[in-house]
Amino acid sequence: MKASNQSAFVCHAGEDNAFAKRLGEGLFANGVVAFVDDWEILPGDRLIDKVFREGIPRATVFIIILSKNSIEKPWVREELDAALVLRIEGQMKIIPVRIDGCEVPLPLKATAWIDMQADGNFESELKRLLQGIYEIRQRPPLGQPPGFVTHARATDLDPYEEAILRLVLEKTYGDLGSYLDGKEILEAVPGMSSEQVNDAVEVLEGRGIIEVTKLLGTAPFTFGLVRPTSHGFVGYAPKLLGIDTQKDCEQVIALAASWSDKGQMLTGNRIADSLKIDPTRINHAVTVLEAKGLVKRWKGVGTAPYVFHGIEANAMGRKSARIR
């Protein structure tokens, strides 16, 4: 916000004197010293001195009243040229005020102007003019950032990505066929827009952290359903859910190696009985171990809550278990 004691030069055509005076009175009433020629130029004054050596150079703001009368006046153009030079030098602000349907001159088309036409609200537009002079910007009150932004991050993800991944991990944990949709995410993470949800989900999918099912009619969301991948679970559950997924993988491969030595296939129930961990952790550990080429997985029907019928450690898996 600019300090008080602002001054304005009101540039206008003679035919618009009445409006210029009304505008000047409004400016004076609000602490702006307005140069209006009828008030400042006395009989005998040199016009060039009063306008180009006193009026314009001493003003902080140049207000040009645009009308069908003024845009054709050579004298108005001379005053505007002088103001444009000062604006280029960073010494003056120009605010156009249009009072009829005239064409805005080319040098001012890139400058935000104010419409104060006869059918408009003079007081409302005067307030806007004063905001421009004093550089007052009306913004809504600034609230607190959402909690997921202010909380210390536990991962390498940004706050939006981490908040969504944490939610997906928590809500799908323990349910083999569980997914979340965009509406559920938006309701559970307040302060996030649908665009931010879409962008975060796209990043997480691109990094292989979540898997996305596309569906029709999901606008404003660009996805249908999401759930964590095994890579995402094993990589981020330690910090977001407090689960030691590395230990899960090490224990499962060690157990698979010992069962392979017996020539037997290791089932999900046998893993659960031996390691006392739940099916969600077992499924993700087995999927990651298979992706690493350490176990062979047999699939079948009727294996729920497991995503496999049984596993067997291969040579690389047995070697990995011995090294540990």
Q: Which of 280, 267, 271, 281 is nearest to 310 (CA)?
A: 267
Q: What is d(CA 178, CA 281) in angstroms, rounded to the nearest whole number?
A: 15
Give the span between the Cα atoms of 85 and 269, in whole angstroms.
Answer: 84
Q: Residue 44 gets which letter from DSSP? A: T
Q: Give the whole-number percent of the chain exceeding pLDDT 70.
A: 96
- Residue identified by tokens 């999900």 is 268
Read off the pLDDT of residues 88-111 as tens digits, 9 standing for 90 and up: 888 999 999 999 989 998 889 889
**pLDDT tens-place string over residues 294-307:** 999 998 888 999 99
In the chain the first and final C-alpha atoms are separated, in Å, by 67
What pLDDT, on a 0 to 100 scale, did the predictor assign at position 324? Answer: 65
pLDDT for 223: 94
- Domains of the chain as residue ranges with CATH: 6-134 (3.40.50.10140), 150-228 (1.10.10.10), 245-323 (1.10.10.10)
198-211 as b/e: b if 16+ CB within 10 A: eebbebbbeeebbb
Question: Can you list the pairs that 235-238 forms with residues at least 24 positions away whose Cβ atoms lie under 8 Å?
Answer: 235/209, 236/155, 236/165, 236/169, 236/209, 237/169, 237/284
In the chain, which residue ranges form alpha helices assigned H by DSSP?
17-29, 37-40, 47-48, 56-58, 74-88, 122-134, 147-150, 159-172, 182-188, 194-206, 230-240, 245-261, 268-275, 279-291, 315-323
Beta strands 310-313; 295-298: pairing state: antiparallel
Rounded to two decimals, the pTM is: 0.58
Q: Categorize the per-residue pLDDT at 70 as very low, low, confident or very high, splitting at 50, 70 and 90.
A: very high
250-294 per-position pLDDT tens digit:
999 999 999 876 777 899 999 999 999 999 999 999 999 999 999
Residue 3 scores a pLDDT above 70: no
Per-residue pLDDT of 137-196, as tens digits, reads 888 887 777 767 666 778 899 999 999 999 999 999 988 788 999 999 999 987 889 999
Rounded to whole angstroms, what are the CA distances from 285 to 190, 217, 303? 32, 34, 16
DSSP string, 298-318: E--SS-TT-S-SEEEE-HHHH
Cα–Cα dist 282/113, whole Å: 67
Q: In b/e form, how buried is each residue of 158-167, taking b as 16+ CB within 10 angstroms?
A: ebbbbbbbbb
Q: What is the pLDDT of residues 222-239, one digit of tens each?
A: 999 999 999 999 999 999
Computed over every residue of the chain, the mean pLDDT equals 90
What residue type is assigned to position 54 of the chain? E
**pLDDT band at residue 221 under the 50/70/90 scheme:** very high
Per-residue pLDDT tens over the stretch 109-135: 889 999 998 777 899 999 999 999 999
Question: Residue 131 in contact with residue 30, Cβ under 8 Å?
Answer: no
